Amino acid sequence: MSVETVTMAREYRNNYGKDDSHRAWYTPGDPGLFYPHSSNNALTQNAPLECEVLWEDCIRNMRANRHLEWKELDDPNNPDNSTNDDLLDENYSDPDFERVKNVIRLQLAYHHKVRKFKQGKDVPSRFLNKNPMNGFRIGYLHQLFPDAKFVHLSRNPLKTCESQIQLEDCAGRCWYFDPQEFRKHAFAPKPLSKEVIDRHEQPPKHWSWLLHGNYPNQFLGFHWFPRIFPRTTPEYHQINKYLKKDKRACAFATGIVQQERCALEAYERLGFKEGKKLLSLWHEDLLHDPALVLERIFEFLEVDTTKDQIMEFLRKEDFPQGKPNVARVERSNEKQEKVFGDETEEVMKALEPCLKRFKERVPFSDKIKKQIQK
């Protein structure tokens, strides 16, 4: 990570970050580069972005042996359209990659040593990893970490679709690149033109300069932008058909169904029991009763915490006194039917399996009440 990049991020955080503001980046006590998708997540060597970069060392990683040529993207003969190469189940094995377990053990040992020094007693360490792409690796992760527990967080699929489009567009604005242009040039777009450079008052602060003139994927060494979709049948071929027609919302909607299907099928195949190996939650539950949901998550993960610690975490995430943030709840309840323009009808149809599950969900607070009554 270049010094200039970190410096600019820190300047932004110091100038605009307010302790109780969700609109900017603020400091949780671990200096690092903050990324805008979450207000309170630092990107450091101890907390890399969702750890996806670790999977680059896996033989079957999301980038391996892809066929991204635009003219062949949706061709039935494109081998990517008839494979499940990105679906790692319990029968998959990669001995060299599996040495990552040793890295995690060392990391846990380091944290255990630090916490013991600070608190004066033995405090168990836990490795927690949040990464949506892990939904395609449930079986393999279960094989690697037999004692692991899984928290499956779902959301109104219409909101998820909108969020994913906005996130890709946000990344595109950082680089002044259009995501579809990336795809049409097989993820190798033409250099910035002099006209684009001259339009900006301070070109040295453009991300391209901060990353020494490289494109994001070249600089980072892994596929960061734009969004690539896991290769599973039949969804990946359908996603490519939508992308070729410039129906990006439909492609994202199909990707949401793809991820949900693969994860839920893995839980069922592996016999995960709800409340023991698996905890299923909804984003809407977290907005409605954040303190109750967090308390249940820590209990499920067998992580000791106090109510004060939970309240402090929620305060930093804009849940004052552990109560729902009214503005965020209102945004969550906004109707989404018209946000996808001409693609709306197709998006709704593509999302039918997830919309059905969303409408049939039982609020988390109701589940707790039933457990208490029993």
Residue 276 near residue 148, CB atoms below 8 Å: no
Average pLDDT over residues 64-73: 90
DSSP conformation class of 42: E
Residue 278's beta-bridge partner residues? 150, 274
CA–CA gap between residue 189 and residue 181 (Å, rounded): 7
CA–CA gap between residue 264 and residue 136 (Å, rounded): 10
226 vs 283, higher pLDDT: 283
CA–CA gap between residue 310 and residue 34 (Å, rounded): 22
- Location of structure tokens 């042996």: 65
The answer, yes or no, to whether residue 26 has pLDDT greater than 50, is: no
- The pLDDT confidence band at residue 211, using thresholds 50, 70 and 90, is low
Give the lowest-confidence range in 93-102, 283-292, 333-342: 333-342
Average pLDDT taken over every residue of the chain: 78
CA–CA gap between residue 235 and residue 258 (Å, rounded): 6
Average pLDDT over residues 134-142: 96
- Residues of the chain with pLDDT > 90, as a percent, come to 39
Of 179, 270, 269, residue with least CA distance to 226: 179
The answer, yes or no, to whether residue 47 has pLDDT greater than 60, is: no
Name the 3-class secondary structure at 184.
helix
Is the bond into 157 cis (omega within 30 degrees of 0)? no
pLDDT in tens, 250-261: 999 999 999 999
Residue 17 near residue 27, CB atoms below 8 Å: yes
The answer, yes or no, to whether residue 296 has pLDDT greater than 70, is: yes
Q: Identify the pLDDT of residue 25.
A: 33
Residue 340 near residue 161, CB atoms below 8 Å: yes
- The pLDDT confidence band at residue 364, using thresholds 50, 70 and 90, is confident
Q: What is the pTM of this model?
A: 0.79
Structure tokens given for 257 = 């169904």
DSSP-assigned letters across all residues of 75-136: -TTSGGGG--TT---TT---TTGGGHHHHHHHHHHHHHHHHHHHHSS----------GGGGG
10 Å Cβ neighbour count for 217? 16
- The pLDDT confidence band at residue 152, using thresholds 50, 70 and 90, is very high
Average pLDDT over residues 24-32: 36
pLDDT in tens, 297-308: 999 998 888 999
